[in-house]
Amino acid sequence: MSKYIDLIGHQDVPHLQPPIVDEAERESILEGLLPHEREAREKGRPSLGSGAIYPVSESELFVRPFAIPDWWELGYALDPGWNYTASLLGARNPDTDQHYVIAEYYGQRNEPVIHAASIRAMLPWRNLEGCIDPAGDNVGSQKDGSKLKQEYEDLGLHLMNANNAVHSGLRHCLVLMQTGRLKVFTTCVQWQKEYRLYRRDEKGKIVKRFDHLMDCTRYLFNTPNAFQGKPIARSGRTSGGEW
């Protein structure tokens, strides 16, 4: 049986339209809501749920892709596992400290050799060093984090251990989002799906499901030296070069 899902917002509900409800009354209904709650009610976009970890409006976070200048710094993060392996590529303007999530990889139930090949294809240059979850994920692999890191390095990736501080990392990412210094390309559709579900439960604990790219985000934007410049002279800065 096939399923169909449609998004219903205020503009689609007859009893919230004039002359029953005018614009001022409809606005009063939305007052006091958090940005993500407002988008859920007004536009029918899925709510982040109670305890949203990043209560930031999607309209303030997502941007259309653009060519990255070749003098910007790049970095990537890797969250390996058996059920899911995720990787995220980011860019940083070193002059303004503006950050972007520009590409993603999301793979299921494959060996590291398959994941590594796809991640290498995502990277702009071969020797770009990424940050990996220092604990790794031993589900189905019987390997600790250090051995899993070595396996990916043997497959051509250059990796450092990520900063895995959870609460301070989440706070830092939230500040970047709230101050407009972290944006996400709209082409990162898997990231968007995880973002909409990333939340805490009734006891305040992070719901550890479907959060691999969220973990990559925390690693990437909290690990020192995670972003690196292109390994040639920054001639693109004057010539207008792009990645």
Output the tens digit of pLDDT for each of the chain's 243 residues. 454 445 566 566 676 667 666 677 666 655 655 555 555 556 555 544 458 999 999 999 999 999 999 999 999 999 998 889 999 999 999 999 999 999 999 999 899 999 999 999 999 988 999 999 988 544 444 455 568 899 999 999 999 999 999 999 999 999 999 999 999 999 999 999 999 999 999 888 999 999 999 999 999 999 999 999 987 644 444 334 565
Predicted local distance difference test score (pLDDT) of residue 21: 62
Q: DSSP assignment of 203-241, as one string?
A: TS-B--SS-HHHHHHHHHTTSTT--B--SS--THHHHT-
Beta bridge partners of 85: 107
Q: pTM of the prediction?
A: 0.75
Rounded Cα–Cα distance for residues 154 and 131 (Å): 15
User: Can you give the pLDDT at residue 81?
Assistant: 86
In the block, tokens 């972003």 appear at 227
Residue 210 — left, alpha, or beta (φ > 0 → left; ψ -120 to 50 → alpha)?
left
CB 128 within 8 A of CB 109: no
**Tokens encoding 1:** 């049986």
Quote the pLDDT of residue 233. 46
The amino acid at residue 5 is I
